[in-house]
């Protein structure tokens, strides 16, 4: 008697090529970077533009004229630092994978985590009053 498995060999399934998957998926454009004034801390957000200087919303910082100045303190364009897109996790990209996942959180999510744990700690300490 023959073994049915030997008669019809099973061919291994080829693993999907991740580059092929990435090539077929539509890429979403990266959000434009925000720039912060080194002098006063004003943040230019391209999604909002600049109403004082008649800059339309969705105008990238690089497209601003060289004569554009900070609407708060008046410094020139070269006094601004690129702080990345809104909602991006803080820190260098190569460090975001370290730790227990906290490095990849956005600043708002980190604040929520910190203050939630702090609030739970305060509730725990206050619950000790109920023991007596």
> CA nearest 57: which of 37, 79, 81, 32?
32
The residue among 52 and 117 whose pLDDT is bigger is: 117
Q: Quote the pLDDT of residue 97.
A: 75
The whole-angstrom distance between residue 79's C-alpha and the CA centroid of its chain comes to 24
Model confidence pLDDT, tens digit, residues 1-36: 555 555 555 555 444 444 444 444 456 666 678 889
Retrieve residue 38's tokens. 């080194």
For residues 11 and 21, the answer to whether their CB atoms sit within 8 Å is no
> CA nearest 78: which of 60, 98, 62?
62
CATH 2.20.28.10 fits 30-86, yes or no: yes
For residues 113 and 105, the answer to whether their CB atoms sit within 8 Å is yes
pTM over 0.75: no
Alpha helices in the chain (DSSP H): 4-7, 18-24, 107-127
Model confidence pLDDT, tens digit, residues 82-91: 887 777 766 6
Using CA of residue 61, residue 67, residue 72, residue 74, what is the dihedral sign?
A: positive
> CA nearest 67: which of 132, 59, 130, 75?
75
The residue among 107 and 65 whose pLDDT is bigger is: 65
> Mean pLDDT throughout 49-78?
87
pLDDT at 108 over 60: yes
| Lowest mean pLDDT across 29-33, 105-109, 112-116 | 29-33
């Amino acid at each position: 008697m023959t073994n049915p498995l030997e008669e019809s060999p099973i061919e291994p399934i080829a693993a999907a090529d991740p580059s092929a998957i990435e090539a077929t998926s539509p890429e979403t454009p990266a959000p434009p970077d925000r720039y912060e004034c080194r002098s006063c801390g004003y943040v230019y957000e391209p999604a909002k533009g600049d109403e004082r200087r008649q800059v339309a919303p969705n105008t990238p910082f690089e497209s601003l004229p060289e004569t554009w100045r900070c609407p708060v303190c008046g410094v020139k364009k070269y006094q601004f630092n690129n702080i990345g897109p809104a909602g991006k996790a803080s820190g260098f990209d190569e460090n975001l994978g370290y730790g227990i996942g906290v490095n990849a959180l956005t600043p708002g999510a980190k604040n929520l985590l910190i203050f939630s744990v702090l609030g739970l700690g305060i509730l725990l300490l206050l619950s000790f009053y109920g023991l007596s």
